Structure 1
Amino acid sequence: MKKTFLLLLAVFLISQVAVQAQQQAMPPLVNVNGVGEVRVQPDQVMVSMGVEVREKTLEQARKQADAKAAAIIAYLKKQGVNEKDIQTSYMSIYPIYSNGEYGRTTPDAYTAQKTMTVLVRKLNKFDELMAGLYGAGVNRVEGVSFQVADLEKYKAEARKKAVNNAKQKATALTNELGAKVGRVYAINENTTGGRPVPMYAEAAMMKTQDSAGADGPTIAGGEVIVTSTVSVSFIIEN
């Protein structure tokens, strides 16, 4: 029992010595946070749209939905949209019962849906493309969101601004104390943003359907905001 106590005491003392040594070895630091922000006009738009059909039989509903989806894809390719920018994102077929009579053996009809996402890389072609899509069979628009193609470029710009902001703060703090900012001791970074700016699906559908009588573009991309935050520890020099 005595030996165990002495062993535990020795381990405790060694750990305390190690902690004190580490604390003594740590240089004087100034810890600051820096923030950098870049606002960018989006240069491409992601559209989620599709078709919905209702037919008497399941097979008829499926065939109609497949035919319309094929026509939409063919139209997009004809307009120069790359195949990799077209993706089927959702599909369903379900029975329709009148008066909510779900227990019946035979439904009144079947509804089939197919939804796909399309990346439009030329914003000035959006209205023309959407007008053609309605003609090709699109009768549902789930959503429209704006994006930036070269996002990494703006993330790097925001990160640089954040680092400069942190250094300015550290310099201001140490100058007030008659000291100087030395080399970087530690740094942590987090860059967020660049998310698509959503546009209501109903508004997108109504505006593009009415675009024939419009005097200008029917969509406005606004801005995409990219933000970077850094936590930096600088060594203080006298």
Structure 2
Amino acid sequence: MKKLVLFLTIMFMTMSYGQEIKQIPQINVNGEGKVKVTPDQVCISATVETTGSNAKEVKKQNDEKMDAVLKFIKKMNVPTADFRTKQVSLNPIFDYEKKKTTYNANQTVEIVLKDLSKYDELMEGLVQQGINRLDNVTFESSKLAQYQSEARKLAIKDAKLKAEDYVSVLGQKVGKAITISDNSQVYHPQPLYAAMRMKESADAGASNETLAIGEIEITANVSVSFVLE
């Protein structure tokens, strides 16, 4: 009796395992969706940096420059909610050869400028007021989430069209999607705009247009597995 029960159990397990590993005819394809939009805002990360031998004096000078920078930003009518202090530091730097300690103070402000017509004036003014390092300048869209959604839908449509192309010559049809993987990455183009070049233009009183906004290409990439019918 025990042998019979064991035999039936093994048969049931074998049948179950056979059912589990049964393969479903399917096709795996990649799809891509692209949406091109003109940026309507720019995010600027700018830093005031001061170095000297006296920590207190270095911090004081750096604070004074940043105070002038913040007042200038307000004068440009940038809303308070659109700029903030991102980082503040004061660090000792020891020179082992000269056996001397100097101090480095820096403070970073992040600005979201939604009126791109003010870009050149703002950038030149920041340098004039004491900004000596631009860490990042990124052109963005305020409707990024909306455009990402559009790109994802286009990517799924592209994947299905590819699958239909492949199976059309086989006399089969594309069925339901059984797996979807999102492989998307968002890329923001950045301008080559050196701080020193801005300072030279500002000192010379130049009013040349330096901004070429271009377009942001928002891309979505997906991998989809469809059942074949």
Q: TM-score under structure 1 normalisation?
A: 0.77
Alpha-carbon spacing, 1:177–1:58, altered in 2? closer, same or farther (3 Å) = same
Q: Distance in 1 between matches of 2:157 and 2:210?
A: 39
- Kindly report which structure 2 residues correspond to 1:181-196, keeping only aligned pairs within 5 A, or say none: 181-193=174-186, 195-196=187-188
Q: Distance in 1 between matches of 2:35 and 2:199?
A: 30
- Number of residue pairs the alignment of both structures matches: 224
Structure 1: where are the runs of 5+ without partners? none
Q: Provide the residue aligned with 2:117 in structure 1.
A: 124
C-alpha contact 2:127 2:199 (8 A) present in aligned 1:
no
**Could you tell me how far 1:79 is from its partner in structure 2?**
1.7
Q: Provide the residue aligned with 1:87 in structure 2.
A: 84
Q: Deviations over 1:163-187 (max 9, x none)?
A: 1111111211221111222333332
Alpha-carbon spacing, 1:27–1:78, altered in 2? closer, same or farther (3 Å) = same
Q: Provide the residue aligned with 1:39 in structure 2.
A: 36
Q: Distance in 2 between matches of 1:135 and 1:183?
A: 61
**Could you tell me how far 1:162 is from its partner in structure 2?**
0.9
Aligned pair 1:230/2:219, yes or no? Answer: no
Aligned pair 1:163/2:156, yes or no? Answer: yes
C-alpha contact 1:143 1:201 (8 A) present in aligned 2:
no
Give the root-mean-square deviation of aligned CA atoms.
3.0
Q: Distance in 1 between matches of 2:219 and 2:174?
A: 25
Q: TM-score under structure 2 normalisation?
A: 0.80
Structure 2: where are the runs of 5+ without partners? none
C-alpha contact 2:52 2:104 (8 A) present in aligned 1:
yes
What amino acid does structure 2 have at the position aligned with 1:91? V
C-alpha contact 1:46 1:119 (8 A) present in aligned 2:
yes
Alpha-carbon spacing, 1:178–1:79, altered in 2? closer, same or farther (3 Å) = same
Q: Secondary structure at the match of 2:178?
A: strand
Q: Deviations over 1:32-73 (max 9, x none)?
A: 221112233322222222222345532122122112212211
Q: Deviations over 1:119-169 (max 9, x none)?
A: 222222111112222333223323322222211111111111111111111
Q: Provide the residue aligned with 1:21 in structure 2.
A: 19
Alpha-carbon spacing, 1:36–1:19, altered in 2? closer, same or farther (3 Å) = farther
> % of aligned pairs identical?
34
Alpha-carbon spacing, 1:210–1:23, altered in 2? closer, same or farther (3 Å) = same
